[in-house]
Structure 1
Amino acid sequence: MSHIEQLYWGGAALIALWLALFGLSLLVTRNGTVTPGPATQEFGPDPEPPAVVSLLAGNWRGVEYAAAATLLDLAARGLLELRQPADDPLATTVHVTEAGRTAQDLPSYERRVLERVVSRTTEGGAPIGAIAFRDAKRAAAFHTELRKDIVAEARLRGLSRSRFAPWLASLLLLLAFVPGALFSLAAIMGEHGVRAAFVVGAAPVSALCWLLAKALGERATPRGLERAGHWAGLRAWLAGHEDFGRLPPAAVTVWDRYLAFGTALGVTSLAGRLLGFDAGDRRRVWSSYGGTWRPVRIRYPRLRPGFGASAGRLLHLAAAAALVAAALGAFAVLRQPDWVLTADAHSGSTLRRPGLVLSAGWVGSLLLGVIVAGKFRRWTLFLVFLAMMPGNFASDSDGWFVDAAAQDGPLAVEWAAIAVFAVLAGYLLVLACLERREPDTIEGEVLRVEWRKDRKAARFLALDEGVTDLTRAWALPAASRGIATGAQVRLTVSRGTRTIRSAELIRAALWEGDRPEPATAGPHSS
């Protein structure tokens, strides 16, 4: 066995050894079993806050309802107030009391939740739906930091600890690099080049580090298991009340802290769902632009030809649509019955089958339009191959394809396709002409900014102009920067294609609060 082979086999053996050590570490540090205590309504002499209880109830992994439970706990302690003016829990509003505005020395996770509520409320309060974030990244960042705060509190109380000791995590991380180093050295000795050495060395290191990162987390202490059992007993007591799970957030005035703990334990599903600190509903966003809170419905133009396109691009697409209509028309008019051969006239395989000839003409016309439109992708030819299959496998002695190929002149389906593409070409041409008009200027607050599946395509920007409760998203060029949800902006737009041509920032938005604050930023061109 050569030295190179020895290095490869040595690296493989070290990977197996690392996996064995990793598996043993997982086995030794697995979380203990929580033994539920008897059903009880007592919190205990020094009860943990609902946020920490949510960590214990989530088996030291998730804190799904921690933010909602903390909000309810703040309301039970008089720092917030929840009001439900009607029978609909969705109409509940949240208000910050004087005690909440002057509260001091709150734990970091409670301070984080309170600041979020304060930033979203006005003097008249705010709907509970307005607490939700308008951006998924902001919501994820909020919950990441909130979980860190809760874990720190749980460790301070002796309820949680890191799953892997620092020395063990460092050892596993260090050993993860050794097999990659051996593979890289073997590649260099085999004269495969530095690039190849980097690839074969980085592959096992990346995989092992990914496994290690997934395993890092929290696990229970003996004290934590004991307290988790106690809270499981409280959960059993709360679950014994049939109507408790359907209580609205405003019921905190009657149930006090029980509603907060029930939410942390996953019993009050309604309250936890309504008080979501997530990215919210992308089609229904609460806005206070204009002075009063109201829900604004957002429509996204999914199937709108020319959406976000420039005048040049519209002419380009119009030419492609016109070419498809012309190619289909020429094929339909010039087609002759003797272009095809049936099985009676010719035995065996032939490229002149009726179905194949018709499919080739139709698919070929569409392919010309795709090429002219600049939409040719790596999968286009594969899609062309699939589109030819029905005609290729169709019977060449009887059936619809045979009758269609024998017909003189365009078919009804061809007339329909020609008309559709001709109308599309005319529509795009009209849009291109309208793009030469002077753009309009609008002003409002940005409700949402969303990427589309194609990152090179224009993004969706929903703007609340304060005039109506319904808005349609605009097309924000993908290269645009400096526009965030909650910002107040002045836009120059083309209404035909709903494209934003330029944007001027009037007021910036706070990262946490999504509420505008004065800014000195100048105009931002799109």
Structure 2
Amino acid sequence: MTLTEQLYWGGAGLIVLWLVGFGLALAATRNGVVAPGPATQEFGADPEPPAVVSLLGNHWRGVEHAAAATLLDLAARGLVELRQPGDDPALSTVHLTGAGRSAPGLTPYEQRVLDRVSSRVADGGAPIGAIAFRDDKRAASWNTALRREIIADARLRGLSRYRFPRLLGSALLTGAFVPGALFAVAAVLGGHGVRAALCAGVAPGAALAYLLGKSLGERATPKGLERAGHWAGLRAWLTAHEDFARLPPASVAVWDRYLAYGTALGVTSLTGRLLGFDSGDRRRVWSSYGGTWRPVRIRYPRLRPGFGGSTSRLLRSATAAGVVAVGLCAFAVLRQPDWMVAVDAHSGGSLRRPGLVLSAGWVGSALLGLVVAGKFSRWTLFLAFLAMMPGNFASGSHGWAGDAATHEGPLPGELVAVAAFGALAAYLLTVACLELREPATVTGEVLRMESRKGKGAARFLALDEGDTDLTTAWALPAASQAIATGAQVRLRVSRGTRTIRSAELVRAAMPEGDRVKAPKQEAPS
């Protein structure tokens, strides 16, 4: 065995040894079993905040509903107020009290939740649905920071710790790249270039490091397991109350901190669902643009022809649709019975079988339209091949192929297709002509921004103009300057394609839940 082969086999053996060691480390650092305590309604002498209880109740794997539980706990402590004006809990509102405007001694995650509420309620109240974020990335960033702050508090309380000790984690991370070093040396000795050596050296280490990173997290301490057992007893006591799971957020005035802990432990399904600190409902967004809070429903015209298209693109698409319509019509009108042969035992391999001839005409018309539209690619040929299969395997003197071969003139399906593509061509041509008009001007607040599939596809921009509870998203070209959610803008738009031609910033977006820095105070003279 050559030295190069020895290095390759040595690297492979080290990978196996690393995986074995990694598996043993996972087994040695797994969480212990939580022994539920007896059902109790007592919190204890020094109870942990509901957010930390959420970590314990989720077996140190997440902090689901921790933000909602924290908000309810702030309400129970009089820092915020939750009101339900009617019978629908979804119409509840959240208000900041005088004590909440200057609350001292809050933990970082409690202050984060309070700041989020403060940024939404302003001087009055706001619907609880308005707490949700309008931007997915901002929501993810906010919740990641919240989780990090909760875990830090749990560690300070001696309830949680790193899953892997630092020495073990460092050893596993370093060992992940040792096999790659052997592979890189072997690649160089084998006559491969530097680029190949780098790939051979980095790829195994990156894969093992990714596997290690996915397993990093928290695990319980002995004290954490004991406290988790106590809170499991509280969960059992709350679960025994059948109506507790359906309590609305405003019932915190009656149930006090029990509602917060019930939400943290996953008992109150209704409250946890309504108090969402995620990206919210993309089709129903609360807006205060215009002076009063109201829900605005958003429509996304995903299947609308010509949406977000330029004049040249519309003309090209109209031409392509017209080509398909003309091609299908010509094929249907000019088709003759002698183009096809009767299907029998001797014509099994003939290219003039009825099903194959019909499929060729229909697929050929579609391919011609794709060529004109500029959508032709190698995958198009593969799809065309699959589309020809039903006609290729059609056999027998009866069936759809045989009936079509004996039919005089265009088939009903062909007439429908010709009419549909003709109407599409006429519609796109009309919209292209309307694009020559002067763009209209609309002003409002950006509710949401939604991406679409495709590198050059226009993004959805939902705008609240303040005079309606229903809005249809506009198409913001992918190359346009970024517009922040929550900003007030003046748009010049083409209504036919709902395309934004230009955008002017009227007022910058307010920070969504960011920490509000206190103004600098001048030193007294």
TM-score (norm 1): 0.96
Displacement of 1:133: 0.8
Contact 1:355 1:396 in 2 (8 A): no
Find out whether 1:473 has 2:473 as its counterpart.
yes
- One-letter identity of the residue aligned with 1:184: A
Q: Deviations over 1:290-325 (max 9, x none)?
A: 010000000111211100000010011011111111
Displacement of 1:192: 2.4
Q: Deviations over 1:253-281 (max 9, x none)?
A: 00100100111011111111110111111
Q: Distance in 1 between matches of 2:58 and 2:180?
A: 36
TM-score (norm 2): 0.96
Contact 1:449 1:485 in 2 (8 A): yes
3-state SS of 2:448 partner = strand
Q: Distance in 2 between matches of 1:337 and 1:511?
A: 71
Partner of 1:393: 393
Decide which moves more: 431-440 or 119-128: 119-128
Partner of 1:88: 88
Find out whether 1:209 has 2:214 as its counterpart.
no
Contact 2:80 2:95 in 1 (8 A): yes
- One-letter identity of the residue aligned with 1:3: L
Q: Distance in 1 between matches of 2:394 and 2:408?
A: 20
Find out whether 1:104 has 2:104 as its counterpart.
yes
Q: Distance in 2 between matches of 1:127 and 1:173?
A: 47
Displacement of 1:509: 1.7
Q: Distance in 2 between matches of 1:301 and 1:265?
A: 40
Contact 1:337 1:405 in 2 (8 A): yes
Displacement of 1:370: 1.0
Q: Distance in 2 between matches of 1:465 and 1:385?
A: 49
- One-letter identity of the residue aligned with 1:39: A
Partner of 1:58: 58
Contact 1:311 1:435 in 2 (8 A): yes
Q: Deviations over 1:189-247 (max 9, x none)?
A: 21222232222222211210111001111011111111111111111111111111111
Displacement of 1:422: 1.2
Contact 2:34 2:226 in 1 (8 A): yes
Contact 1:133 1:278 in 2 (8 A): yes
Partner of 2:237: 237
Q: Distance in 1 between matches of 2:441 and 2:149?
A: 44
Pairing 1:150-165 to 2, within 5 Å after superposition:
150-165=150-165
Displacement of 1:345: 8.6
Change (3 A) 1:514 1:163: closer
- One-letter identity of the residue aligned with 2:76: A
The unaligned stretches of length 5 or more in structure 1 are 516-526
- One-letter identity of the residue aligned with 2:251: A
Q: Distance in 2 between matches of 1:499 and 1:285?
A: 22
Q: Distance in 1 between matches of 2:511 and 2:369?
A: 45
Q: Distance in 2 between matches of 1:345 and 1:386?
A: 24
Contact 2:341 2:347 in 1 (8 A): no
Q: Distance in 1 between matches of 2:23 and 2:72?
A: 41
Contact 1:354 1:396 in 2 (8 A): no
Contact 2:451 2:459 in 1 (8 A): yes
Partner of 1:49: 49
- One-letter identity of the residue aligned with 1:61: R
Contact 1:459 1:475 in 2 (8 A): yes
Decide which moves more: 371-380 or 26-35: 371-380
Pairing 1:160-309 to 2, within 5 Å after superposition:
160-309=160-309
Q: Distance in 2 between matches of 1:213 and 1:344?
A: 65
Q: Distance in 2 between matches of 1:248 and 1:375?
A: 53
Pairing 1:286-365 to 2, within 5 Å after superposition:
286-344=286-344, 346-365=346-365
Displacement of 1:402: 1.9
3-state SS of 1:118 partner = helix
Decide which moves more: 116-125 or 284-293: 116-125
Displacement of 1:149: 0.2
Q: Distance in 1 between matches of 2:399 and 2:27?
A: 66
- One-letter identity of the residue aligned with 1:94: V
Contact 2:184 2:198 in 1 (8 A): yes
Displacement of 1:57: 0.3
Partner of 1:375: 375
- One-letter identity of the residue aligned with 1:457: A
Decide which moves more: 9-18 or 322-331: 322-331
Identity %: 74
Q: Distance in 1 between matches of 2:365 and 2:116?
A: 56
Displacement of 1:504: 1.0
Q: Distance in 2 between matches of 1:511 and 1:385?
A: 53
- Could you say what the CA RMSD is over the residues aligned between the two structures, in angstroms? 1.5
Displacement of 1:453: 2.1
Contact 2:135 2:279 in 1 (8 A): yes
Decide which moves more: 342-351 or 28-37: 342-351
Partner of 1:422: 422
Q: Deviations over 1:106-155 (max 9, x none)?
A: 11000000000111113330000111111111111111000000000000
Q: Deviations over 1:42-73 (max 9, x none)?
A: 11111100000000001011101100000000
3-state SS of 1:379 partner = helix
Q: Distance in 2 between matches of 1:261 and 1:284?
A: 29
3-state SS of 2:342 partner = coil
Change (3 A) 1:400 1:514: farther
- One-letter identity of the residue aligned with 1:395: S
Q: Distance in 1 between matches of 2:514 and 2:289?
A: 12
Partner of 2:484: 484
Q: Distance in 2 between matches of 1:416 and 1:25?
A: 66
Displacement of 1:102: 1.0
Pairing 1:17-36 to 2, within 5 Å after superposition:
17-36=17-36
Q: Distance in 2 between matches of 1:510 and 1:190?
A: 59
Partner of 1:438: 438
Displacement of 1:514: 9.0
Partner of 2:522: none
Partner of 2:496: 496
- One-letter identity of the residue aligned with 1:352: R
Displacement of 1:344: 4.0
Contact 1:331 1:361 in 2 (8 A): yes
Q: Distance in 1 between matches of 2:381 and 2:347?
A: 29
Q: Distance in 2 between matches of 1:151 and 1:122?
A: 30
Q: Distance in 2 between matches of 1:463 and 1:365?
A: 40
The unaligned stretches of length 5 or more in structure 2 are 516-525
Q: Distance in 2 between matches of 1:175 and 1:324?
A: 61
- One-letter identity of the residue aligned with 1:428: L
Partner of 1:522: none
Q: Distance in 2 between matches of 1:407 and 1:196?
A: 63
3-state SS of 2:508 partner = strand
3-state SS of 2:314 partner = helix
3-state SS of 2:177 partner = helix
3-state SS of 1:279 partner = coil
Displacement of 1:334: 1.7
Partner of 2:519: none
Contact 1:458 1:478 in 2 (8 A): yes
Change (3 A) 1:244 1:192: same
Decide which moves more: 327-336 or 69-78: 327-336
Displacement of 1:378: 3.8
